[in-house]
Chain A
C-alpha cells in the first residue's frame, strides 16, 4: 500500500480464484461470486491466462468474466489480472474503465509485469516481442493507464439537451505519452471511471509495477500490505494436514503464505487488516468461507466502491485545473 493510503479502520478479505471448478464454467463462476458476495467477501481477483496450462482449468479471460460477473452481482469488488507484456495500455485502460462503469465503482486491476516463455510465444507480432523490454514497458505502463483514466475530467461528459453540448472539449485531455517503449496520445475513449482511479494491485515483489500500485500483496505479513495466503483448513487439524499433503505439501514464499490448521488456528494467523486468500478448488473456498471467514474481525466497508473498502480517498484528477493538495499526497 502507499504509505498513508489506508484509513486505519479498513479491513478487507479478497478471494483470488483459479482452478477448474471455480472459474471453468459460467455457472460455476457466477455461483462462486454470488456465494462470496453473500458471505461478505470484499473482492474477487480473476485469473487471466495468456498461455495454456496443463491443469485444464480454462477460465474465460478476466475481462469477459469480470463484465459477466459485474452484471450478476451488486456489491462485491471485481479485480482483473492483466499482464503488461501481453496487453496494450490504451486497450487495458478502456477495458478497466468500462468495467468500473459496469460495476459502478467496484473494479480493480491486478497488474503483473512478469513474462513467461509460453505466453511470449503466443504474442509475437510485427512491432512487439513481449520478451524484449518487459520491465521498461511495465514501468511506463501503469502510470500511463492512470493518466488515461484521468484524461476525461469529471463532468466533461455534459450531455446537456437544452444547449446541445454533449461534451466539454476543454475538460478532455490528451496524455501525449512518449516513452522509451510506449507512445500514446489519448485521450481515452471512455469517460472517467466512477472511482476516478480503479484500485491497482501488484505483488510487492513485482518491482516494475509495485511503485505505482495502490495495494501491494505479499506472502509476508506487513502492516501496509495485503497478506496473501493459501489456506488448508478443516475442523480437524489432522484432516487439514492431509489436505495440505494431498496438494503436494506446498511451501510459502515471498508471494504466498501457506497456512494449515483448524479454523481457529488459521484465523489466528490472519489477524491482519488486509487478507487475500488464494483458492484453486471449490472445497477449499467453501471450507474457508464457512469456517474461517466468520472468525475474522471485520468492519463494515465505508462505502460501495472498492476504493472505499480499502479506505482509499477519492482520487484527484491530475488534469483538473484545481486540485486539493491535501489529497494528492495520498493514493493517485
Chain B
C-alpha cells in the first residue's frame, strides 16, 4: 500500500434513510425524496465535511408493495436530474449517478455523464449497474429480463463505447457489434475527468471482474464475517493486479453508523429506530422488484425469528426479556446472531442489560450494510480497524435517517477521523479524481 494512503468517505443518499423505518423517526424528513432543498442541504453538509462523494442509487421500476420492507426503492428523483441540481449547489464534492445500461443506449448515457462532468467541472461518477429487477423490462418494451451474462456483456460494451466517445473528440468511432451500431462522435468535448469515475458493486464473479478491470471504486453488500470481508477485499485487489490496477481500485463497503455523543444514547437511538418498524406477519417480499439488496428472509416477526434461532419464540411479549435457558438452546446460526445483537445493543443473555424478544426479531433479516452503534470514538475505531486491517479503503456511509444521521456522522465522527490523521481536512483539488488520487487518463 502507498504510504500516503488516505481514507475515502461517501454519502449514500437514501431519502427515507437506509434504516427501513428511518423516515418515521421524529426528526426525519419523511418526504425527503422530493424535498429538493433538503437534498441540496444534505449534499452541502457532506461537502463541508470534505466527503468524497454523494451517491444516488436507482431502480427502473416501482413496486408500492415494498412500502414497509424497503420504502426507499419505490420512487425517487431521476438520478441525473438530482445530480445536476446537486452539482449546481456544491463546488467540490463528487456526485455519483446510478445508470443501468441494460435499459439505456450508450450514446445517451455517455452524453449525460459527459454533460454532468462538464457542468460540475469534473465531479461526475457513474455507478454502473445491470439491474436486478425483472420488472424493469416491462417498462422498457421488453418481455423479459436478460440473464446475468448478457447484461454484463452489454454493460461492458456500453462502458467501452462511452469511453471511446469521450476520447474521440471530433472523430467518429463507428462501433459495430452484435448489439450496437454507433457512429459518434459526441456533441461534447472530452469531459474534464477524461473518463467519468466508475463505480461498480456486487459479489458475483462477473461483478468482481468488471470492477477489478475497469472500476475506480467498488463496493459490496455486507459480508457476514471478518474473514469474508478480508476475502472480498483481497480478491478485488488480486483481480485488479492482473490489470496492473491494485492501487487504483478503491474498496468502499457500505457502513451504517448509529452514532451519538455517548454509547448509551447511540444504543437508545438504535432501539428507537427498530421500534418504529412495523412488524407484519405478511411483510411483503415482491416477486417483481427485489428487496433492494436486502435479499430474502426479510420477515420481522416471532415466527421468522423462531426459524432463524431454532427455538420456539412465538406468543411472547416483544419487550420481555428472553430467558437465558431459551438463549442457551439456539442454533449455531442463532449464536452468531446473538453475538451480533450484543455487538449492536450491548445486551447479553445474562448481564445487567438482557436481550429481549424484539432484539431477536430485528436480528432476523439480513442487514443492508454493516451496522455499527456507538459513540464517535467507537465508530472511528471500527472504521480505522477496517481501513488498517485489509477490509476497506473507505466507506459508503449509509445514514439511517435524514438529515439527522448525516449531520451526526459529519459533526461527530469526521472530526474524530481527522484528529486521527485518517481523513482529509480539506480537498486537494476540485475534481472527484483529485479526491481519489487518480490521474486523468490519457487519450487512448
**Nearest residue, chain A, Cβ from B25:** A161
Q: Taking the complex as formed, is A189 at the interface, i.e. its CB lies under 8 A from any CB of chain B?
A: yes
Q: Which of A86, A87, A159, A165 has the most CB of B within 10 A?
A: A159
Q: Taking the complex as formed, is B199 at the interface, i.e. its CB lies under 8 A from any CB of chain A?
A: no
**Nearest residue, chain B, Cβ from A184:** B139
**Nearest residue, chain A, Cβ from B30:** A159
In the complex, chain A residues whose CB is within 8 Å of the CB of B116 = 60, 64
Q: How far is the CB of A30 from chain B (nearest CB, A)?
A: 8
Q: How far is the CB of B100 from chain A (nearest CB, A)?
A: 10
Q: Taking the complex as formed, is B104 at the interface, i.e. its CB lies under 8 A from any CB of chain A?
A: yes
Q: Taking the complex as formed, is A118 at the interface, i.e. its CB lies under 8 A from any CB of chain B?
A: yes
Q: Taking the complex as formed, is A286 at the interface, i.e. its CB lies under 8 A from any CB of chain B?
A: no
- For A181-218 the 0/1 string (1 means CB < 8 A from B) is 11111111111000000000000000000000000000
Given contacts A102-B36, A125-B105, contact A67 B140 (CB under 8 A): no
In the complex, chain A residues whose CB is within 8 Å of the CB of B179 = 125-126
Q: How far is the CB of B25 from chain A (nearest CB, A)?
A: 8
Q: How far is the CB of B302 from chain A (nearest CB, A)?
A: 19
Residue in B104, B115, B141 whose beta carbon sits within 8 Å of that of A65 in the complex? B115
**Nearest residue, chain A, Cβ from B171:** A52
Q: What is the CA–CA distance of A161 and B30 in the complex, to the nearest angstrom?
A: 7
Q: Is the CB of A58 within 8 A of B189?
A: yes
Residue in A64, A71, A128 whose beta carbon sits within 8 Å of that of B115 in the complex? A64
**Nearest residue, chain B, Cβ from A152:** B75
The total of chain A residues at the interface (CB under 8 A) is: 67
Residue in B34, B67, B108 whose beta carbon sits within 8 Å of that of A167 in the complex? B67
Q: How far is the CB of B136 from chain A (nearest CB, A)?
A: 9
Q: Which of B33, B87, B89, B119 has the most CB of A within 10 A?
A: B119
Q: What is the CA–CA distance of A249 and B108 in the complex, to the nearest angstrom?
A: 34
Q: Is the CB of A164 within 8 A of B139?
A: no
Q: Is the CB of A161 within 8 A of B23?
A: yes
Q: Is the CB of B182 within 8 A of A87?
A: no
Q: Is the CB of B111 within 8 A of A71?
A: no
Q: What is the CA–CA distance of A328 and B340 in the complex, to the nearest angstrom?
A: 58
In the complex, chain B residues whose CB is within 8 Å of the CB of A71 = 36, 40, 84-86, 88-89
> Interface stretch among A9-17, A90-98, A291-299?
A90-98
Q: Taking the complex as formed, is A68 at the interface, i.e. its CB lies under 8 A from any CB of chain B?
A: yes
Q: Is the CB of B65 within 8 A of A191?
A: no
Q: Is the CB of A68 within 8 A of B88?
A: yes
Q: Taking the complex as formed, is A45 at the interface, i.e. its CB lies under 8 A from any CB of chain B?
A: no
Q: What is the CA–CA distance of A26 and B71 in the complex, to the nearest angstrom?
A: 35
Given contacts A102-B82, A159-B31, A165-B67, contact A184 B276 (CB under 8 A): no
Q: Is the CB of A166 within 8 A of B88?
A: no
Q: What is the CA–CA distance of A72 and B105 in the complex, to the nearest angstrom?
A: 29
In the complex, chain B residues whose CB is within 8 Å of the CB of A95 = 78, 80-81
Q: Is the CB of B118 within 8 A of A187?
A: no
**Nearest residue, chain A, Cβ from B16:** A166
Residue in A53, A127, A157 whose beta carbon sits within 8 Å of that of B34 in the complex? A157
- For A110-151 the 0/1 string (1 means CB < 8 A from B) is 000000001001111111100000000000000000000001
Q: What is the CA–CA distance of A87 and B16 in the complex, to the nearest angstrom?
A: 29
**Nearest residue, chain A, Cβ from B106:** A125
Q: What is the CA–CA distance of A165 and B118 in the complex, to the nearest angstrom?
A: 41
Q: Is the CB of A122 within 8 A of B184?
A: yes
Q: Is the CB of A191 within 8 A of B61?
A: no
Q: Taking the complex as formed, is A35 at the interface, i.e. its CB lies under 8 A from any CB of chain B?
A: no
Q: Which of B104, B170, B180, B183 has the most CB of A within 10 A?
A: B183
Given contacts A67-B82, A67-B88, A191-B34, contact A124 B181 (CB under 8 A): yes
Q: How far is the CB of B116 from chain A (nearest CB, A)?
A: 5
**Nearest residue, chain A, Cβ from B61:** A189
Q: Taking the complex as formed, is B317 at the interface, i.e. its CB lies under 8 A from any CB of chain A?
A: no
Q: Is the CB of B170 within 8 A of A166?
A: no
**Nearest residue, chain A, Cβ from B34:** A101
Q: Is the CB of A166 within 8 A of B74?
A: yes
Q: Taking the complex as formed, is B178 at the interface, i.e. its CB lies under 8 A from any CB of chain A?
A: yes
**Nearest residue, chain B, Cβ from A62:** B115
In the complex, chain B residues whose CB is within 8 Å of the CB of A189 = 59-62, 74-76
Q: What is the CA–CA distance of A154 and B397 in the complex, to the nearest angstrom?
A: 33
Residues of chain B in range 85-122 having any CB-CB distance to chain A below 8 Å: 85-89, 103-108, 111-112, 115-116, 118-119, 121
In the complex, chain B residues whose CB is within 8 Å of the CB of A98 = 77-78, 81-82
Q: Is the CB of A61 within 8 A of B85?
A: no
Q: Which of B82, B116, B141 has the most CB of A within 10 A?
A: B141
Q: Taking the complex as formed, is A241 at the interface, i.e. its CB lies under 8 A from any CB of chain B?
A: no
Residue in A51, A161, A166, A182 whose beta carbon sits within 8 Å of that of B26 in the complex? A161
Q: How far is the CB of A239 from chain B (nearest CB, A)?
A: 33
**Nearest residue, chain A, Cβ from B88:** A71
Given contacts A63-B81, A185-B135, contact A121 B141 (CB under 8 A): no
Q: What is the CA–CA distance of A187 and B59 in the complex, to the nearest angstrom?
A: 12
28 contacts between A and B (CB under 8 A): A51-B187, A52-B185, A58-B189, A60-B118, A60-B119, A60-B188, A61-B112, A61-B115, A64-B112, A64-B115, A66-B81, A66-B84, A67-B83, A68-B119, A70-B85, A71-B88, A90-B140, A95-B80, A102-B81, A125-B182, A127-B141, A152-B75, A157-B34, A188-B75, A189-B61, A189-B74, A190-B77, A191-B34
8 new A-B pairs (CB below 8 Å) besides A64-B80, A166-B68, A189-B60?
A51-B187, A58-B187, A59-B187, A67-B81, A87-B108, A123-B105, A161-B28, A190-B78
Residues of A within 8 A of B (CB): 26, 49-53, 57-61, 63-72, 86-88, 90-91, 94-95, 97-99, 101-102, 104, 118, 121-128, 151-152, 157, 159-161, 164-169, 172, 181-191
What 4 A-B pairs are tightest by C-beta distance, nearest first? A67-B84, A60-B115, A71-B88, A64-B115
Residues of B within 8 A of A (CB): 16, 21, 23-24, 26, 28, 30-31, 33-34, 36, 40, 59-62, 64-65, 67-68, 71, 74-78, 80-89, 103-108, 111-112, 115-116, 118-119, 121, 135, 138-143, 170, 178-189, 276, 278
